[in-house]
Structure formats: structure tokens, C-alpha cells
Structure 1
Amino acid sequence: MASFFHGHPQAGHTRDSTSGPARWRPSTSPVQSTVVAALGQASVGVLALPASGRIAAGKTFLARLCEQAERYDEMVTYMKEVAKLGGELTVDERNLLSVAYKNVVGTRRASWRIISSIEQKEESKGSDKHVSTIKEYRSKIETELEKVCEDVLNVLDESLIPNAASGESKVFYHKMKGDYHRYLAEFASGEKRKGAATAAHEAYKNATDVAQTDLTPTHPIRLGLALNFSVFYYEILNSPDRACHLAKQAFDDAIAELDSLSEESYRDSTLIMQLLRDNLTLWTSSDNAEAEGAGAADAPKKEEGEAADKPTEEAKAEEPAPEATN
């Protein structure tokens, strides 16, 4: 699709903007450097901040330490406290909160996919005793997932979205809302799945409306939104045509303005464009295989593990978690 992209998506893996929460984040500096820099900044101007600002700075620094120590549950706690102080989060605070939740939910989504895969294998062997035990354990993981997702959604609805002033923030938070409703839809069934899917679609649509007026086609947040929204269509709504159309449109629009892409966002934007291209390659090759009557069963159309999961999530690529910067 674009000559400056090389390589092919890993077989059977679609990519969605949440594929790999902590492991794969577009960053410009190591976490350790970020923490050290944050400490230096804290000692310089923190006393000049109002009380709420000093509290936020302290909690944010603790969140950085938690990230370095990979204690993401605590990282979530600190960033929730920052969010509830009121006012719009800085880009750095926003990214820290996103990274924290993506790691907390990401480990559980990965666990869910693994257990679901084992459950399917045991069912195919007719091992009723094992299947019963596995179902109970899967249910435990789903309860944890639901709790995390509802927690994020509450923070978004009560603090983050109401306080979002810039177009960039609005897109970021509505996209985030769509993502976590999508995660709920991945393992839900019946009316709960339908409700989660409807809420996810509404959030993604709200984000898209703002993105198209406030963000350029090459903006990494707009591209990440298109990536995850297309995965939602493919994995949750089972609509490959709409998924491919959305992904291709976003990719083509970005390509048309690539020359004007700022150096600051070049790396992040081109990374997400690569993921869009990988998904398109995967989805269209999957459709071709199905049309020929071959390989359809192996196509990650329901990778539903990470974006819309059914037991194989990484079938599609999700947008990587943002890097927290100073």
C-alpha cells in the first residue's frame, strides 16, 4: 500500500491499538530517564504550584515509580486520584493513566484468551470434568475484567470527559471509552454484549466526529482511533467490509499528508499506519482465502482476544499505549 512500509504482518495476527499495552509503546526515552527527569522537575517548581498541583505532581511521580517497578494496579490508584482532583489532565498525566489501565486490563485479557483456548481444546476432547473447572476459572477472570473496565469507564464519565477542553483530549477519552466498552463486549454474551457493543460504537463515533474537525489525518491519536474503531467493526460487529473501509480511508488520508507530518509525531504516526496496513493485508487476504474455500478457519477474523476477542486476540493489531513524557 505504501512503499515506505516494509514487511508483512505476523501470520494470524491482526493489530489493534491495544495489542501490547506495556511492551510496545512509541517512546523517545527510557522510563528510567523519565523518572529521573521527573524527580529533577519536582524539586524545581513544585513549591510554586497550588495545593492541588502539588498533590498531582506527587501522585504522578509515584505513578512513574510504579510503572518502573511494574506495579500497575498501584499506578492506576495514583492516577485515578490525580484524575479526581478536577481540571484537565496534562498530556503526561493522561498518558500515564492510559498506560496504567492498559497494563492492568492487558494481563487479564491475555489470561482470558489463554484459558478460553484451553477450554475449547478440552471441550473437543470431551473432558467434561476439566471443562467445568476451566469455565469457573474463566468466569473469575471475566469478573476481574469487568471490574477493571467499569472502573475506567466511571473515571472517564465522572472526571476525564467532563473536564476535557481540547479536541485532542476529547478524542483521546472518547476513544478510550470505546476501547473499554469493546473489551467488555469481547467476553460478554447476549444482551450484555449487545449493550457493550452499542456503547463502544457510540463512544468511537463521538471521538471520530471531533477528530475529523480538530485533528489532522496524520495525528497519532486520530490514527489510533481509526485503528481501534476498525478492529471493533471486524471483531465485535463482524463487519469486515466496514472495518477495511475505515482502515483504508484513514491510511490513505494520512499518506496524502505525510509530507507535512511533524518530526515530533512522525514515529508514532507511521507506526500506527503500519498497523493499519498490516490489518488491511491480513483482513483482505483472509477474505480471499475464504472466497477460495481455503484457510478461512485460521483467519483471525475473531481474534477477539485483544480487540474483540474470542480466544485469539492478537489477530489484529491495536494501537500501542502512549509514552508518558515530561
Structure 2
Amino acid sequence: MASPREESVYMAKLAEQAERYDEIVEFMEKVVSVNSDELFMEERNLLFVVYKNVISAARQASWRIISSIEQKEESYGNERHVSSIKSYRYKIESELSSIYDDILKLLDTKLIGSASNEDSKVFYLKMKGDCHRYLTEFKIGTERKEAAKNTLFAYKSAQVGDHHPPNQIASVRHGGVRQKPIYSQMEQQNSKATSPTKTSIVN
């Protein structure tokens, strides 16, 4: 008979095959809740599937497209359309925030603390930095400033764990994917975070 952990992992794999990526987070929460040990490599990869297919792809792209349309309609003075687009954008932002909050909760309350080796800890810290970095795309005011600060802290913590020289700008790596250096960019965003202007972060 399969254990609760094995059953949840199986269901997460099933959700992956069905491309129901939001539900992978729910099943991985169950995996973590029934076991205090760190995730196995297979389980960690499932969490990365969420990052790749939900956070950095579909919904984030949707937000950027809708925001671009909103800006165009504002430039045309179509207030009626702008109002409808804003409501739709808020819905997407709410969905994104919910997903990020779920993953950040897993990382902060379980995964980072239970990591028994540096590779796992660095992996989780970089994922945490990514989540906060994407939040800076649509948050404004104090929330955006806080997200920018958390991004820098997570990335720099990961850099220490990865044993890079302090003056070397680290690139974020997940599953062999390298992203552009972002430290100086995030420093600039942190200083401008109180501005209501929404600035898309270059990936």
C-alpha cells in the first residue's frame, strides 16, 4: 500500500501530465506536510515544473500582454475599455499572488529549513528570489519595495551558499537554465519601488 507521501507524489505527477500545474503545488504541500525530511530529487523537480510552467510562463506572459493593451488603451483615451482591462489585470495579479504565496510558504516554512545540503538550499533560495522578483513586476508602493528587498536578500543568500566571490554577480540557475544577472537591476528597482509605475523585469 502506498504511503501518503507516495500517493501525493503520484498525484503531482498525474497533474503534471494533465498540465494542471496549479494543483502540483497543492499535492507538494501534502508531501511536505506528511514528512519533515527534505524533498527527494524527483519531488524537487516537480516543484520546478510549477516554477517553469506557471510562474515564468503562462500567467506572467498573460499579465504582460494585458498590461501592454491597457497602456495602449490609456494612450487612446478609451476609459471604458481601460476600466474593464484593469479589472481583468487585477484578476490575473490575484492568481499570480496566490501561487507565489503558496510556493513561498512552502519554501519559508519547510523546504529551506529542512535542506540538508548546500545544493538543495541554494536551489530553494534561488526559487524564492525568483518568486519575489516576479512580484515586483506588478506590485506597487510598499509591497513592491518589500518584494525587491526580499529578492535581493534571497539571491545574495543563495550566492553565499554557492560559494561565489562576493564581488561576482551571480546568475540564477534552475534545471540548467541560466538567467541574466539581475543584482544591479534589482538595486535600481528597490530604490524606485515606491513609484506606482509598473516596470516589467527583463528575464
Q: TM-score range by the shorter chain?
A: 0.7 to 0.9
TM-score (normalised: structure 2): 0.82
- When residues 193 and 68 of structure 1 are mapped into structure 2, their CA distance, relative to the original with a 3 A threshold, is same
How far the C-alpha of 1:82 sits from its partner, in A, is 0.9
For 2:154, give the aligned amino acid.
A
1:132 and 2:132 correspond: no
How far the C-alpha of 1:129 sits from its partner, in A, is 1.0
1:57 and 2:6 correspond: yes
Contact 1:72 1:101 in 2 (8 A): no
1:159 and 2:110 correspond: yes
Name the structure 2 match of 1:104.
54
How far the C-alpha of 1:107 sits from its partner, in A, is 2.0
How far the C-alpha of 1:171 sits from its partner, in A, is 0.1
Name the structure 2 match of 1:74.
23
- When residues 222 and 167 of structure 1 are mapped into structure 2, their CA distance, relative to the original with a 3 A threshold, is farther
How far the C-alpha of 1:207 sits from its partner, in A, is 0.4
How far the C-alpha of 1:232 sits from its partner, in A, is 5.4
Considering only aligned residues, what root-mean-square deviation do their CA atoms show, in Å? Answer: 2.6
How far the C-alpha of 1:201 sits from its partner, in A, is 0.4
Question: Following superposition of structure 1 onto structure 2, how do residues 268-283 of structure 1 map, counting pairs within 5 Å?
Answer: none
Which digits, 9 at most, give the CA deviation of each residue in 1:121-154, with x for residues without a partner? 1111111111111111111111111111111111
Which digits, 9 at most, give the CA deviation of each residue in 1:209-245, with x for residues without a partner? 00016xxxxxxx97617944723543x4448xxxxxx
For 2:9 and 2:83, how far apart are their aligned partners in 1? Answer: 43
For 2:41, give the aligned amino acid.
V
Q: Indicate which of 57, 63, 70 corresponds to 1:119.
A: 70
1:189 and 2:140 correspond: yes
Question: Following superposition of structure 1 onto structure 2, how do residues 217-228 of structure 1 map, counting pairs within 5 Å?
Answer: 224=173, 227-228=178-179
| Structure 2: unaligned runs, 5 residues or longer | 165-169, 190-197
For 1:141, give the aligned amino acid.
I
Contact 1:76 1:101 in 2 (8 A): no
How far the C-alpha of 1:72 sits from its partner, in A, is 1.1
For 2:120 and 2:31, how far apart are their aligned partners in 1? Answer: 16
Contact 1:171 1:222 in 2 (8 A): no
Percent of paired sites with the same residue: 47
Question: Following superposition of structure 1 onto structure 2, how do residues 25-64 of structure 1 map, counting pairs within 5 Å?
Answer: 54-64=3-13
Name the structure 2 match of 1:23.
none
For 1:143 and 1:81, how far apart are their aligned partners in 2? Answer: 23
Contact 2:22 2:54 in 1 (8 A): yes
Name the structure 1 match of 2:155.
204
Name the structure 1 match of 2:44.
94
TM-score (normalised: structure 1): 0.53
1:179 and 2:130 correspond: yes
Contact 2:38 2:116 in 1 (8 A): yes
- When residues 189 and 55 of structure 1 are mapped into structure 2, their CA distance, relative to the original with a 3 A threshold, is same
Contact 2:15 2:23 in 1 (8 A): yes
For 2:162, give the aligned amino acid.
A
